[in-house]
Structure 1
Amino acid sequence: MISEITCPDDKSALCADIMSGLPEWFEEPDGIAACAGLVTGLPVLAHTDSGTRTGFIALKYHPPAAAEIFVIATRREFHGRGIGHSLLKAAEAHARRSGCSLLTVKTLAPRGRHEPHLDSTRAFYGRNGFLKAEIFPTLWAEGHPCLFLVKPLH
């Protein structure tokens, strides 16, 4: 089941909890803390299974046409169960209701090293209809190229 979280403290706690359990994707404790603070002001949708919040997605709106996936994460023990796909579908519906025609996301671009977790992230977005739009080599930091992906919402 997917529902919107409205309590800022709940949004922040869920974000920090899930991201902290995924150090391959979210390496920096300061980055996790910053993200947990920022999501308090964003729409956050959570997937719940048997009373456990298994994953979440936070959206940042860029009027008039785009919604950005600010962060999406699923607890490790629930990977591969379609939760991420369900969260994306819920985010798409949320964005359409808000009048958006595009859903965007930023993730790390390939860096020429063995990073299977990031390969699977990029493949996940590709399977879900996202198109590679642009790579920004230094948007985040040197050595952390940003891949900008876009999905038209028809």
Structure 2
Amino acid sequence: MIRIVDDIEEKQRIARSILTALPEWFGIPESTENYIRESANEIMVASFEEEKANGFLCLKETGKDTVELAVMGVLKTHHRKGIGRDMFDKATRIAAEHSYSFIQVKTVQMGKYPEYDETNRFYLSLGFKEFELMPNLWDKWNPCQIYVMSL
């Protein structure tokens, strides 16, 4: 079941449980804590199986017409089951209902780490297009690839 999560404490509890289970993608404690903290103020869509969250994503406004897929995680045991795509479909409907025209997402450039190559391929499969590479946004080991999509 995919649903919107409104309760601030539930948002942070879900973000913490999913992100800490994915150290390959969320292995920098300060960054992970920042995602958890910021989730309280963002639109959260989560996937549940028997009342337990197995994935979530958050949307954050970055401009009058643009929303960012700020963070997304699906438990590894649930990868490749369509959960990410289902959450994304729900999130894009919500973004369109809020009159956003574009959605963007930032990730590590393709070719740097196998896990992030999977992430890049996932975003491309959703229909995102390369927008800009910002090699120094985070650090030299993690060049930032920005993808964008029209809603």
Q: TM-score range by the shorter chain?
A: over 0.9
Q: 1:137 matched to which residue of 2?
A: 135
TM-score, structure 1 normalization: 0.93
Distance in 1 separating the partners of 2:131 and 2:87: 22
Within 1, Cα distance between the matches of 2:76 and 2:141?
26
Q: Does 1:59 align with 2:59?
A: yes
| Deviation sequence 1:59-99 (CA, Å, 0-9, x none) | 00134211100001001111110000001101100100000
- Number of residue pairs aligned between Structure 1 and Structure 2: 151
Q: What's 1:123 paired with?
A: 121
* Alignment-derived partner of residue 147 in structure 1: 145
Gapped regions of structure 1 (runs ≥ 5): none
RMSD (CA atoms): 1.1
Q: For residue 20 of structure 2, what is the aligned residue in structure 1?
A: 20
Q: Percent identity?
A: 28
Deviations 1:113-139 (A, max 9, x none): 5x2211111000111100011100111
Which residue type is aligned with residue 119 of structure 2? T
TM-score, normalization: structure 2? 0.95
Matched AA of 2:97: R
The secondary structure found in structure 2 opposite 1:21 is: coil
Residues in 1 aligned to 2:52 and 2:105: alpha-carbon distance in whole angstroms: 26
The answer to whether the Cα contact below 8 Å between 1:45 and 1:91 also exists between their aligned partners in 2 is yes
Give, in whole Å, the separation in 2 of the partners of 1:142 and 1:9: 35
Runs of 4 or more consecutive aligned structure 1 residues displaced over 3 Å after TM superposition: none
The one-letter amino acid of 1:34's match is N
